[in-house]
Amino acid sequence: MRSKDEEAVWQKAFEDTLKLGIREARRGSGVWRDIFTLEATPGAYRLALACEQPQSDRLGLTNSPVEFQDFDSTVALSDLLLISDSIINPKLGDIWKGQYSRKVIPRKTFSLAERLTIYFEIYNLPTDIYRQTSYEIAYTLQLVKPVESGIGGLVSKVLSRKRESITTVLHEVGINRDLARALALDVSEMREGSYTLTLRLTDLIFNHAVTKSTTLVLTR
């Protein structure tokens, strides 16, 4: 991992043989992950991962931007994690080191028959004179690009009566300033295609709002 100025911040190297079984039919197979913890000052970074295939002389490389946010000063919202597993009464940190750590796999593609769970964490909620928090969570799933477009897409939409968006607003009161949330979303009636998911957290005590977005694909 390197900083915005290309300074090397963190590096991990090891050899391992992975039998992923990519061609297996069972959904979720062929997934490998490595969970690690690191400390870095808030800022923009670049994380690269290289994977070698010695038998075929091939090399795969991913290069992704990573932002470390400053969560200490005001109400903040973590990045949105999309998974197909159910999470009941989540607690901070459990998704990585608790009962869910072995089965939670972040994804970007879901079938219409699957459960879509949005996991996120909230930090530094202010409290009122009764030491209670009051906040609003609004999230919208909006179709960006359908699988079928043009006249064919319009006819398919009319005949199937599939939905292209979901908007939900939740008002919650609590006592914890930091908390984890997992919202289940039924996507069975949605059209196939690419979507944008936007979540807006509004602190109703000082009327401070923060927004996070991510993308996903819904298929048959």
Residue ranges making up the domain that contains 93: 71-220
- Same domain membership, residue 80 and residue 1: no
| CB contact at 8 A, 194 and 217 | yes
Lookup: tokens for 74: 């005001």
Query: 31 with 140, same domain?
Result: no
Q: Can you give the pLDDT at residue 25?
A: 38
Give Cα separations from 13 to 10, 39, 175 (angstroms). Answer: 10, 18, 43
| Per-residue CA distances from 40 to 3, 37, 43, 89 (Å) | 10, 10, 8, 29
Q: Are residues 30 and 103 in the same domain?
A: no
Of 37, 68, 99, the domain-final residue? 68
Note the pLDDT of residue 137.
Answer: 97
Burial 125-148 (b: 16+ CB within 10 A, else e): beeeeeeebbbebbbbbebeebee
CATH number of the domain enclosing 207: 2.60.40.3880
Are the CB atoms for 114 and 220 separated by under 8 Å? no
Q: pTM of the full predicted structure?
A: 0.78
* pLDDT, one tens digit for every residue, the chain (220 residues): 888 888 888 787 666 665 555 444 344 445 566 666 677 788 888 888 887 777 777 788 888 888 887 777 789 999 999 988 888 888 887 777 767 766 677 889 999 998 899 999 999 999 999 999 999 999 999 999 998 765 555 555 555 678 899 999 999 999 999 999 999 999 999 999 999 999 999 999 999 999 999 999 999 8
Q: Which token pair is 154? A: 């319009």
